[in-house]
A and B are shown apart, each in its own frame.
Chain A
Amino acid sequence: MIVVSVATAVLQVLITAAAILGLVIVFGRMVRRARSARRTRLAGPARRTLLALAAGDNDPAVVDALVQLSSATWWAIEPTAIALLGKVRGDAHSALVSVLERRGLARRALRDVHRHGAVRRARAAEVLGSLGHRNGVGSLHRLLADPDPDVRVVAARSLGSIGDPASATALLNSLVGPRPVPPQLVAHALMRLGPDAQSYVQAGLDHPEELVRATAVEVLGLVGAIASAGRIEQALRDDRSLEVQVRAARSLGKLGTRTGLGPLLEAVAPGRAPTLRAIATRALGNLGSGAAVPILVELLADPQYAVAHRAAYALLRLGREGHAALRAAAETGTPAAGHAQEALAILELEERRRDTTAPAGYSSASSVPQRVAGG
């Protein structure tokens, strides 16, 4: 009897709880729907004015109309204005920024970066980045060490959008520590900082942490930091980390400077680490110097498959001289011949494809350009 009573009571409690939960859900949806409908109603006429601004109309009347909108109407269209900010560039972007600044968005974002909720902080960081708000750089530097990983990611991305060169050091430092930012995001943000940030990024090559040096050397290669070529060559020769050496080799290939040839040739020497040899071999092809041809021909017969294979592809990139070397190697009947034949097959496919798309009179023969003459 007691068991039945208890079960009935429990059932009643559960049913009541389910009913309350259902009511809360229905009420929540109704509120959201009502807010959305109100927002749409309020935004209606102002949306067209906002579109005129985002379309690049430099009409001061449009700007004034948006600045003078009532708070309620602005509340309704502000999300659209922020969304459009990330979708347009040029005059349209500048006009949007101007209106959003005058409506106090940056001021609110600077306040919100200190909020308790991570979503508010992330949104504030995003807004500061979209606005390109230089006064927000200090706050964003602090958010790079935020307890929430998503906030740190947004802060890094926003620093890249703002493009203040001095942010490079803070971004590099954010790679290490108890609350790190993922390296690919840091690298991407660093790449957006522009040429003035290269000296800061180069300074990262002296950092005690391997990850910082590796990221810095890679970014220098990706942005084509020719002025840092000497320092990258030094990293390839002297850095104690294999990872940094490997990335330095890759970066030298991307930079294509004459002085990169010597360090890369040293890096492919038989005593060096296999990974480094393979990457340096490929970099020799990217460098585009005909002076690398004899070494690459030797590497075709290297006992390490990755090195021999990449030597063939490197020769493929070296134009007429490299192709002639591949043809000679393909006839030898040695293990090198297989790699050479594979590369030549690819060359043939590329030339056929080019011939079918090139305008009449254009010949694809030996059309692979040489980036560095002599060497």
Chain B
Amino acid sequence: MTAVLIADDDPDIRDLVAFKLEQSGFDVTAVEDGLSALAAARKQTPDLALLDVMMPGMSGVDVCRQLRSDPATAALPVILLTARAQEGDVEVGFGSGADDYVIKPFSPRELVNRVEAVLARTRT
């Protein structure tokens, strides 16, 4: 089963995304901050990480940079989830090495499609 790591400090979003991905057949691990996400990814590398940008302690962008700098997680596909839709914010997100960028409010169905697309792209 494909493992997805979700990190979001908003319990409603975290539970919703976890619910939708589990419903779509993914094995989901959900954490509430950046540091926990980093620890979880290092403990057992998932197939994809879905990170909220604005999290207490360490942002999703910082987590993404840390993942990219570690050889064990450098190739991990990352999708950033954020309410920050400005061009500059998107640029910073992709600059950190993210594979995709989903803007809130989002369509849960589209989110699953994005996850599947990124996984398909990174597996080829």
- Chain A residues near B (Cβ < 8 Å): 47-48, 51-52, 54-56, 80, 83-84, 86-93
Contact = CB atoms under 8 A, between A and B. Distances in A.
A51 B105 contact: no
A46 B23 CA distance: 17
Contact of B107 (A56, A83, A84): A56
Interface residues of B, number: 15
A93 B16 CA distance: 13
A80 B23 contact: no
Interface in B1-49: 10, 12-13, 15-16, 19-20, 23
B114 to A, nearest CB: 13
B19 A48 contact: yes
Contacts of A54: 16, 108
A86 B106 CA distance: 9
A90 B19 contact: no
B20 A89 contact: no
14 contacts: A48-B19, A51-B16, A55-B23, A80-B12, A84-B12, A87-B104, A88-B105, A88-B107, A89-B105, A90-B107, A90-B110, A91-B107, A92-B107, A92-B108
Given A55-B108, A56-B109, A87 B19 contact: no
Contacts of B105: 86-89, 93
Contacts of A91: 107, 109
A56 B13 contact: no
B13 A55 contact: no
A47 B19 CA distance: 11
Shortest beta-carbon contacts, A-B, top 5: A90-B107, A55-B20, A51-B19, A89-B105, A55-B108
Contacts of B104: 87
Contacts of A92: 107-109
Contacts of A86: 105
B44 to A, nearest CB: 25
B19 A88 contact: no
A359 to B, nearest CB: 16
A109 B19 CA distance: 30
Nearest to B107: A90
A92 B16 CA distance: 11
Given A83-B12, A87-B13, A55 B19 contact: yes
A87 B14 CA distance: 11
B16 A55 contact: yes
A254 to B, nearest CB: 15
B108 A56 contact: yes
Given A55-B20, A56-B20, A89 B106 contact: yes
Nearest to A47: B15
A236 B20 CA distance: 52
A54 B17 CA distance: 10
Contacts of A51: 15-16, 19
Between B12, B19, B105, the greatest number of chain A beta carbons within 10 A of the residue's beta carbon is seen for B12
Interface in B37-91: none
Given A54-B16, A87-B12, A87-B104, 20 more contacts: A47-B15, A54-B108, A55-B16, A55-B19, A56-B107, A56-B108, A80-B12, A86-B105, A87-B105, A87-B106, A88-B16, A88-B107, A88-B108, A89-B107, A90-B107, A90-B108, A91-B109, A92-B108, A92-B109, A93-B105
A334 B107 CA distance: 57
Contacts of A87: 10, 12-13, 16, 104-106
A89 B109 CA distance: 10
A87 B110 CA distance: 13
Contacts of A56: 20, 107-109
Interface in B93-115: 104-110
Nearest to B10: A87
Contacts of B20: 55-56
